[in-house]
A and B are shown apart, each in its own frame.
Chain A
């Protein structure tokens, strides 16, 4: 069974003042078909984990390993990771002026599959996926993310997840900034991908409301650059009611 395995991961971010350690020993194993929710206070390092897994050049891995089916992910370039089956739905998707969504999707799909998709079939698939996500067909000719609203950007990320069919998807606060209807539409998209491809999902969120649509198998509490507690879906409910105080205080006390 395909597995994404993160062992004792330490990551620093490049700043003007030099390298600043953010992740301080993350251990996490995701099997395909599983959904893991990561919750934790602002600044605890959740996006850093996501960016480091995708290979963002600003984040330096100082210790630890990441493997996908035993392959060393950290040795791969950003594009190689994506072609190996990793997908990151970004918290803040980037605008790419002058590059149309249609061209972008086709180029990426071709790169990931190693061959151009059959034209007619691909056209249909894109159209269908856009309809499912309530993305207007005019978006195909717009520049990638340019002038998209927050919610439109998030739907565009999930559109890619559905079309590219990754083996593991990291969704970084895909639910933030979505209204109730959009949240449902986006969640359905993620669930379709889960049903169709058995993708393993790492879902970063602050809110339990998305977990009512996308059922997590495991919940991890992320504090101060590492996982402070793990449990089942019930842990999410407790966090919602009690907040993170218990963990942050604990972290301070143990420091």
Chain B
């Protein structure tokens, strides 16, 4: 049993806030991290680098190379009637505007993709339905993909990216939210076993714009997502929400970076995950940078992990860098805890069988977060997926094997 909290301040259930001018500088400032469109600037990592130290780099190797095709996934977009979808070549000048790649998989994805999908929510348009982008793995060939979601000024939309099947997929998701626009972007990683997925989400948030960025990770062998968000004008708001559930030998890594480069913006980060089974490993790194100019910043980030069984490991590293004293609020909290047997006892002492009691506790752990996501179709799916994950651990208790997606042998 290993519970690792790789941050001296992030003791169990500890929360603290930073007051004026108490700069907390972690391992090298985020501002100094190399970002580039050029492969030569960001070499293949060894695994000892700060941003790779928790990652299974051997399994990610195919996504570091220059040879990445386009045929490993099928992309299907079903858009709301108000929303425009195009397939464009790599020379389209709208691409590459939401920031530069910040690590090797990101720069390799940028250099390898052939065509990009561009989803545009036109100015003033309010999408009447969810726009869904389904990315289905069809072969194991290393594949690069590029997606741009552009919410023009004062538009409103919900865009859901849904990953399924088995693939070795390296992805860039660019998100541009113009003045006054409200965009909810959801990325669901519901891959089959065996999938390896790296994804760089790079977001720009304009004046008085609002981005709700949601990440949900359940399936795949290795999923490593690095959502970045940068404010480009005052009044912007970013809410980053993440939910993950790792099983035996799954690696799920979420590395966030919120760059408060301008004054009077607000960010909220809430990631919660559950782990079960030997070799289940989750990594959460939350970097928030409040630059010297970013007076009036209001930020809070939180990560919680619930360890359901022995042999699972969670690394949780919040980093807050503050370069100005004139902030409205800044804080973070990180906690990794075991399943609480006292809660289980309390519920069972009220007649509730163990299996149901465990379900209640885990559902309870995620309940608030699921409400926060606010997209009904995603919410339903999430509840179902959590139930399915729980079935796996319950089968240990009940001795009944979980049903396997329609192919279950009745014997």
Q: Which residues of A are interface residues toward B (Cβ below 8 A)?
A: 54-57, 77-79, 81-83, 88, 90, 93-99, 103-104, 107-108, 111-112, 143-144, 160, 164
Q: Counting CB contacts under 8 A, is B351 at the interface?
A: yes
Contact (Cβ within 8 A) B348 A77: yes
Please state if B351 and A111 are interface contacts (CB–CB under 8 Å).
yes
In the complex the two chains form, what is the Cα distance from A143 to B363 in whole Å? 12
Tell me the dominant secondary structure on chain B's binding face: helix
Q: Which one of A78, A93, A97, A160 lies within 8 Å of B348 (CB-CB)?
A: A78
Neighbouring A residues of B54 by C-beta, 8 Å: none
How would residues 334 to 353 of chain B score, 1 for a CB under 8 Å from any chain A CB and 0 otherwise?
A: 00000011110111111111
**Of B354, B356, B366, B367, which contacts A107 at CB under 8 A?**
B356
Q: Ordered nearest first, which 3 A-B pairs have the shortest CB separation?
A: A98-B364, A98-B367, A82-B351
Interface contact B364-A93, CB-CB below 8 Å: no
Our count of residue pairs bridging A and B at CB distance below 8 angstroms stands at 76
Contact yes or no, A107 B360, CB < 8 A = yes
The distance from the CB of A193 to the nearest CB of chain B, in whole angstroms, is: 15
Smallest CB–CB gap between B372 and chain A, Å?
12
A43 to B59, CA, bound (A): 56
B: interface residue count bin: 20 to 34
B346 and A90 within 8 A (CB)? yes
- Distance in angstroms between the alpha carbons of A78 and B356 in the assembled complex: 13
Q: Once the chains bind, are B343 and A96 in contact (CB under 8 Å)?
A: yes
Whether A111 lies near B352 (C-beta < 8 A) is yes
A83–B349 alpha-carbon span in the complex (Å):
9
Give the residue of B342, B353, B363, B366 whose beta carbon is less than 8 angstroms from that of A94. B342
- When C-beta atoms are compared, the residue in chain B nearest to A93 turns out to be B346
Q: Are A78 and B345 neighbours in the complex by a CB distance under 8 Å?
A: yes
Q: Select which of B348, B360, B361, B364 is within 8 A of A79 by beta carbon.
A: B348
Say whether B300 faces chain A, with CB atoms less than 8 Å apart.
no
- Once the chains bind, are A111 and B364 in contact (CB under 8 Å)? no
28 intermolecular pairs with C-beta atoms under 8 Å apart: A55-B349, A77-B348, A78-B348, A79-B352, A79-B353, A79-B357, A81-B349, A90-B346, A90-B349, A94-B342, A94-B345, A94-B346, A95-B343, A96-B346, A97-B364, A97-B365, A98-B364, A98-B367, A99-B360, A99-B363, A104-B347, A108-B347, A108-B350, A108-B351, A111-B352, A143-B364, A144-B346, A164-B351
> Is there contact, CB below 8 Å, between B365 and A164?
no
Q: A13 to nearest B CB, angstroms?
A: 14
Decide if A99 touches B361 in the complex (CB within 8 Å). yes
**A residues near B341, Cβ cutoff 8 Å:** 57
**Complex Cα spacing A160 to B349, Å:** 11
A88 contacts B366, CB within 8 Å?
no
Closest chain B residue, CB of each to CB of A86: B349
A96 & B361 in contact (Cβ 8 Å cutoff) = yes
A57-B345 in contact (CB<8A) = yes
Q: How far apart are A89's CB and chain B's nearest CB, in angstroms? A: 10
Query: Do B351 and A83 touch across chains, with their CB atoms under 8 A apart?
Result: yes
Inter-chain contact B346/A112, CB cutoff 8 Å: no
Which residues of B have CB within 8 Å of A96? Answer: 343, 346-347, 360-361, 364
A77 and B354 contact, CB distance less than 8 A: yes
For the complex, give the distance between the alpha carbons of A96 and B353 in Å: 16
Residue among A54, A90, A98, A103 making CB contact with B366, cutoff 8 Å: A98
Query: Do the beta carbons of B346 and A111 come within 8 Å of each other?
Result: no
- With a CB–CB cut-off of 8 A, which chain B residues contact A57? 341, 345
Q: Taking the nearest CB of chain B, how far is it from the CB of A78, in angstroms?
A: 4
Instruction: Report Cα–Cα, A97/B343, bound state, in Å.
Output: 9
Identify B364's interface contact among A82, A99, A160, CB under 8 A: A99
What A residues does B340 contact at CB under 8 A?
A: 94
B368 at the interface (CB under 8 A from A): yes
B222, chain A: closest CB distance, angstroms: 29
The answer for the CA separation of A93 and B352 in the assembled complex, in Å, is 16
Complex contacts, A88 vs chain B, CB 8 Å: 349
A37 nearest CB across to chain B (Å) = 22
In the complex, what distance in Å separates the CA atom of A66 from the CA atom of B185? 58
Residues of B near A83 (CB, < 8 A) are 351
C-alpha gap A97/B350 in the complex (Å): 16
- A145 CB to closest chain B CB (Å) equals 8
